[in-house]
Amino acid sequence: MTRQTMVAALVGNPNAGKSALFNALTGARQKIANYPGVTVERKSGRMLLPSGEPVELVDLPGSYSLNPSSPDEEVTRDVILGRMAGQTQPDVLVIVLDASNLEQHLVFAQEIIELGRPVVIALNMVDLAERDGLVIDPTALASALGVPVFPTVAVRRRGLAELTAAVAALRDRPLDAEPVHRPHVTAPERRMLARQIARAAILSETAQHRIHAQLDRVLLHPWLGPPVLLVLLFVVFQAVFSWAEPLKNVLDAGFTALGDGTRSALPASLLRDFLTDGVIAGVGSVVVFLPQILILFFFILTMEATGYMARAAFLMDRAMAGVGLSGRSFIPLLSSFACAVPGIMATRSITDPKDRLTTILIAPLMTCSARLPVYTVIIAAFVPNRQVLPGVGQQGLVLLGLYVLGVLGAMGAALLLRRTVTKGAASGFIMEMPKYQLPTVKDLALGLWQRAYVFLRRAGTMIFGVTVVLWLLLNFPRAENPQDQVNTSVAGHIANGLAVVIEPIGFNRDIALALIPAMAAREVAVSALATTYAVGTSDDAAQGRALGDQLKSHWSLATALAFLAWFVFAPQCMSTIAVTRRETNGWTWPAFMLAYLFGLAYAAAGITYWIAVTCGLG
């Protein structure tokens, strides 16, 4: 009989240090996916037993009990009880306990031990407990609970060999024909027992001033906390904008060079155009987001690993509660000012599913960096460079106005969504504040690698598909005269139909034609308009100026303002759509997002246009 690969699962409260232990036990051999039908992340990896035999180790979402109060906890319960479709019931459960918070963590641990499954306990973060002046006796704990206990320090790999050996031993132990019947106790009894067991296991406890209490005194201070957060966020944003830019340019140049190389290496043909203009340019336009994603996630992962993220959520909760969200939505939304893609990916830290969905849906309304090229070209062409006040220019004010409009739109949308499609009572904010810790380089690197991989692979395949479709639309059927290609193409015909629809909001057919390729990414609108008005220069700045002159002669001011209002709302970014599909596990919500944001964009552009015309700017 061939024995199947054994499955073990890590289970425990949130903040028990499960992820660090998981990373230490599996190394880089990890797989991340979603559980079928839900958006809960499934993390599994290969752990080696002392014999060299591989074991599949699953990192279950942190839970407080088998009586679930969130989708995460439901997954944990279903996997443990062997009720999760597509997941074999774990042969061994490794309960992870925070050594310095036994009173709390032993409650859930008892509930799992009562199930009678093979169990081993990792008494984790014993170093942090000792830092807090707490020494625990693992043997006392083991005899009180009736299961083996091993002290571990994941980040220093302490106790890992003993732990895997214990897992192997449990596997070789024949399962009792009759599961051991443990006394079933009620939740309050479990809590009382937890307190007793914890007290009995504590060898010594000195009333040291805990480091985290001292840090919190500043970081959660009602007047000092917010400015500290503000300074930190300023640094993050500065980094995302200024560090990412050169890397983005290098990637951009790389893809341009690759396209040029391919162009000169292959004979002129449709296939060549497809490879250069379709595949390379399309995939390139997405991959250039990677530096921003990595830099932003470096900070987000650091904030999470240190424990500061929970404090930021605490500080921002009051403000977010105003629109029906909680403090946890703050960081994802803020990240979306750089780019909605990492912002939406960052919503994974929001535990409430309704809150998370609302945050995903409004994230594209935060003015991302891809809108800036569009905004700057139009503003430079149509808004006079006048000083309104000393040091305050009219152009800057319009740009600021567009940012404010996006934020107001997001707040309005959140309020409405929370009362309609994402209606649900639980948007409360109940959150354990984890202890402060130093992040480890290895965990950070692993997290960054996983985010990059997920973005490139999952979003990449879909984005590649959309790019190909867009290219086909723009290049078929073929025109006799290359100059007429766009007009002859399917896209040209779509633009004809689209022009009728968007005429009432002041858009002409040239705009319709630019909006189609701009579905790939907003900034494509600029180069598409440049193509339409045949602006023949590759120098960005010169192109912007020349395009501005062309636009001024073809568009009225009302049209230009309507065009700006359109881009505040329009969800013209296939990376965002792709990542929304991935994060919401289906097409329903990306379709909803497209519909409501295009609706808003249409209304905003229309209102802007008609007000402007009424004011005599038509």
Partner 1 sequence: MTLDELPLGTPARIVSANWDALVPEEAQRLKALGIEEGAEVRLAYRGVFLARDPIAVEIGRMTVALRRVHARAMQVELLTVLAA
- Phi-psi domain of 37 (left: phi exceeds 0; alpha: psi -120 through 50; beta: other): left
Shortest reach from residue 194's CB to partner 1, in Å: 9
Beta carbons of 317 and 326 less than 8 angstroms apart: yes
Cβ proximity to partner 1, 59 vs 317, nearer residue: 317
Any contact of residue 66 with partner 1 (CB under 8 A)? Answer: no
Binding track, positions 71-110, relative to partner 1; x by CB under 8 A: -----------------------------xx-xx--x---
The residue behind tokens 């625990």 is 136
- Distance (Å, rounded) from C-alpha 208 to C-alpha 301? 29
Classify strands 54-59 and 41-48 as parallel, antiparallel or unpaired.
antiparallel
Distance (Å, whole) CA 574 – CA 446: 27
Q: Count Cβ atoms within 10 A of the Cβ of residue 218 and give its class: 0-12 exposed, 13-18 middle, 19 or more buried.
A: exposed
Q: Which of 142, 415, 433, 444 binds partner 1 (CB under 8 A)?
A: 433
Beta bridge partners of 54: 48
Residue 487 has phi, psi (to 5 degrees) of -70, -35
Least CB distance from residue 355 to partner 1, whole Å? 12
Find the binding residues for partner 1 in span 292-351 (CB under 8 A): 310, 313-315, 317-318, 321, 327
Q: Which strand (E) or helix (H) includes residue 46? A: strand 41-48
Closer residue to partner 1, CB minimum distance, 429 or 610:
429
Interface with partner 1 (CB under 8 A), residue from 54, 138, 226, 396: 226
Separation of alpha carbons 423 and 440, rounded Å: 39
Min separation Cβ 151 and partner 1, Å? 17
Please identify, among the stretches 35-43, 61-69, 178-186, 242-250, the one whose residues bind partner 1 according to the rule CB under 8 A: 61-69
Q: Using CB under 8 A, which residues numbered 168 to 197 contact partner 1? A: 187-188, 191
E strand or H helix at 12, and its extent? strand 6-12
Question: Cβ contacts of residue 14 below 8 Å, gap of 6+?
Answer: 62, 63, 64, 432, 434
Q: Scanning the structure block, which residue is given the tokens 């997001």?
A: 410
Of 63 and 467, nearer to partner 1 (C-beta) is 63
Sole residue written with tokens 């839900």: 38
For residue 87, the minimal CB distance to partner 1 (Å) is 24
Q: Give the contacts of 485 (CB within 8 A, at least 6 positions apart).
A: 474, 475, 478, 479
| Contact map string, positions 512 to 531, toward partner 1, x by CB under 8 A | --------------------
- Only segment of 151-159, 406-414, 422-430, 446-454 that touches partner 1 (CB under 8 A): 422-430
Applying CB under 8 A, among 127, 130, 137, 216 the residue interacting with partner 1 is 216
Q: Which is nearer to partner 1, 313 or 323 (CB)?
A: 313
- The piece of 177-185, 216-224, 438-446, 602-610 that touches partner 1 (CB under 8 A) is 216-224
Residue 216: burial class (beta carbons within 10 Å; 0-12, 13-18, 19+): middle
Q: Among 132, 355, 523, 583, which residue sits at the site for partner 1 (rule: CB under 8 A)?
A: 132
Does position 215 bind partner 1 by CB under 8 A?
no
Kindly tell me which residue out of 46, 48, 69, 142 binds partner 1, with binding defined by CB under 8 A: 69
- C-beta closer to partner 1: residue 432 or 540: 432
Q: How far is the CB of 310 from partner 1 (least distance, A)?
A: 7
H or E element that contains 449? helix 441-454
Instruction: Determine the Cα–Cα distance for residues 47 and 120; give it in Å rounded to an integer.
Output: 15
What is the DSSP-derived secondary structure letter of residue 425? S
Least Cα distance to 403 among 342, 341, 337 occurs for: 337
User: Is residue 65 involved in binding partner 1 (CB under 8 A)?
Assistant: yes
Binding-site size, partner 1 (CB under 8 A): 38
Residue 159 C-beta: closest distance to partner 1, Å: 21
Q: Which residues bind partner 1 (CB under 8 A)?
A: 64-65, 67, 69-70, 100-101, 103-104, 107, 132, 187-188, 191, 212, 216, 220-223, 225-226, 310, 313-315, 317-318, 321, 327, 425-426, 428-433
